Amino acid sequence: MSEAVLNIGIVGAGENTIKKHIPGFQAMNQVRLLGVCNRTRESSAKVASRFGIKKVYNNWLELVTDPDIDAVLIGTWPYLHSPITLTAIAQEKHVLCEARMAMDVIEARQMFEASQLKPHLVCQIVPSPLTLNVDKTICRLIETGFLGDILAIEIEDGNTFVDSDSFLHWRQDRAFSGHNIMSLGIWYEAVMRWVGEADRVMAMGHTFVKMRKDPDSGFYKSVQIPDHMDVLARMTCGAQARIRISQVTGLAGPARAVLYGSEGTLRFQENKLFGAKKDDEKLQELPIAADDQAEWRVEASFINAIRGLETVTLTTFADGVRYMRFTDAVVQSMAQGREVALDEI
């Protein structure tokens, strides 16, 4: 017996949706992209025409309440993730939500709690993609004792000089991005996969470019999201983590994550994994076994979960709450100038 056709509705057809999600869904059998709603009807119509999508909606509520839609892809900026998710779940729709999960942990918890009331619905967040190809290898090496006791974690991301002239980006606008700060949540999500959560944080951030021109209104707006930050965290595994995310550290080098242990070191950089034991003289590139290599399969995972063929692991709403709690702790630490326990959040 053939599988029933799953009708997908898209809210927010930006770059990632066009490059990743639409081709991913269109490559699957018995999956139909039925409708789309973008920021304007004109841009929605362009996407619909380009990809052969039948329906164009005036607003996201029309799409989410359409009885012909079985599942909703939320590709908007974070400010709409919670209201669309809550409405979709109430309308008995499956949800694939773009990362970051929400504006803050309050919204994230509301989304999670709503999903728990409808366990027959699949609710998934698009995972942080930075380390997908090495995650299994890192976890296996940790489990088999390559690092010994994990003592320190260092993450650095940012290689550009300060740019004072660019327009305000939605990621720099708290009204659209909420508490999310640059790539902080993306990296923390990867760290959670390897070693678990943090239990205490201390953070300091600075906004060097304090005003930027809004591309929509043409007026200058205050920038409230830092363009440079340093975070210290105590991890539940016993390690201390240091995370530096910046848009002002010109020529600092490629983004990297380093795990230091009592017996060895692992370094992830430019999609390659390097390692050394304490008796080695230098790091060497480590091979990634074919079985450990991962490819982008977010859309396939979502559809397979709806069809009962697999369980969502990347990324669950529960994990989204965990990384949003960390982000909120960082924001609170910066605002209050003190160490914050995640149990407070």
Domain identity same for 110 and 196: no
Range of 244's domain? 135-294+324-344
- Is 101 a member of any domain? yes
Within-domain flag for 319: no
Asked if pLDDT for residue 44 goes beyond 50, the answer is yes
Total domains in the chain come to 2
pLDDT at 256 (0 to 100): 99
Q: Is the pLDDT score of 295 beyond 90?
A: no
Question: The domain spanning residue 203 has which CATH number?
Answer: 3.30.360.10
Q: What percent of the chain has pLDDT over 70?
A: 99
Percentage of the chain modeled with pLDDT above 90: 98
- Pairing assessment for the beta strands 264-269 and 272-277 based on DSSP bridges: antiparallel
177 and 46 inside one domain: no
Note the pLDDT tens digit of each residue in 49-77.
Answer: 999 999 999 999 999 999 999 999 999 99
Q: What is the CATH number of the domain that holds 304?
A: 3.40.50.720
Residue 172 lies in a domain: yes
Tell me whether residue 301 is in a domain: yes
Find the mean pLDDT for residues 131-137: 97
Same-domain status, 190 and 274: yes
Predicted pLDDT at 189:
99
Mean pLDDT (whole number) for 242-254: 98
261 and 155 in a single domain? The answer is yes
Query: What is the reported pLDDT for 3?
Result: 82
Inside any domain, residue 307: yes
Pair 22, 171 in one domain: no
> Using one digit for the tens of pLDDT, what is the confidence trace for 77-102?
999 999 999 999 999 999 999 999 99
152 shares a domain with 119: no
Are both 260 and 279 inside the same structural domain?
Answer: yes
pLDDT in tens, 186-228: 999 999 999 999 999 999 999 999 999 999 999 999 999 999 9
Q: What is the 3-state secondary structure (H, E, C) of 206-219?
A: ECCCCEEECCCCCC
203 domain-assigned:
yes
101 and 156 part of one domain: no
Q: Is residue 1 in some structural domain?
A: no
Instruction: Give yes or no: residues 115 and 220 share one domain.
Output: no
pLDDT bracket for residue 2 (50, 70, 90): low
pLDDT band at 1 (very low <50, low <70, confident <90, very high): very low
DSSP H helical ranges for the chain: 15-16, 22-26, 41-51, 60-64, 81-90, 105-117, 135-143, 174-177, 184-195, 298-306, 317-336
The torsion defined by the Cα of 79, 130, 94 and 120, in degrees rounded to 10, comes to -120
HSE-CB of 312 using CA atoms within 13 angstroms: 27
266 and 203 share one domain: yes
Asked, for residue 161, whether it belongs to a domain, the answer is yes
The whole-number pLDDT of residue 70 equals 99
| Domain co-membership, 211 together with 272 | yes
pLDDT for 154-197, tens place per residue?
A: 999 999 999 999 999 999 999 999 999 999 999 999 999 999 99
